[in-house]
Amino acid sequence: MYRTFAVLFVLGASSSAYADPPAPPGPRPASVSPPTVMTHAKLSPEAREAEIARLRQLLFQRVTYPLRLRQLDSEIRIAEAEIRSLDRRVREHESISRPVTSHPFLIELESNKMRRLAAVERLDSLKRERLLLVQNYQIERRLRELEQQSP
């Protein structure tokens, strides 16, 4: 019974841990089927440019934007975990009650503090980059739509 419970618990935890991130803001495409690509027909230069713009827009909406968002989310989770680990190390080093005169010990403590500071700065930068990506999604999408519509 415990084994069944453990398996169900692990499956439930793993499915939520690897769930897809929320959909990007804005309207979702009507279908998720692969785009139709004209491979045989000879296109006029205008039709070719329109097709290129349409495919760029689809790639951005279905691949580029979601991929970058997932990468940023992953990097943010890693940076947060690194900060928690370094916080624990610094607390353990600082919790020693006796006067510390050991030079290697002080170097390790200072190294952990510096690595923590770098991780905090990296996390802040990643969060700002993610925010800008999400905030400017509509602008990027509209720009690509206009490129697709231009003659």
DSSP letters, 55-123, are HHHHHIIIIIHHHHHHHHHHHHHHHHHHHHHHHHHHHHHHT--SPP--HHHHHHHHHHHHHHHHHHHHH
Residues in the chain: 151
- pLDDT, one tens digit per residue, over 52-80 is 888 888 888 888 999 999 999 999 999 99
| Cβ neighbours of 79 (radius 10 Å) | 20
Residue 69 near residue 24, CB atoms below 8 Å = yes
Find the mean pLDDT for residues 135-150.
84
Confidence of residue 98 (pLDDT cuts 50, 70, 90): low
Distance CA 46, CA 49 (A): 5
Distance CA 58, CA 132 (A): 20
- pLDDT, one tens digit per residue, over 117-141 is 999 999 999 999 999 999 998 888 8
Mean pLDDT (the chain, rounded) = 77
Q: Which of 76, 72, 49 lies closest to 144 in space, CA to CA?
A: 49
By the 10 Å C-beta count (0-12 exposed, 13-18 middle, 19+ buried), 119 is classed as buried
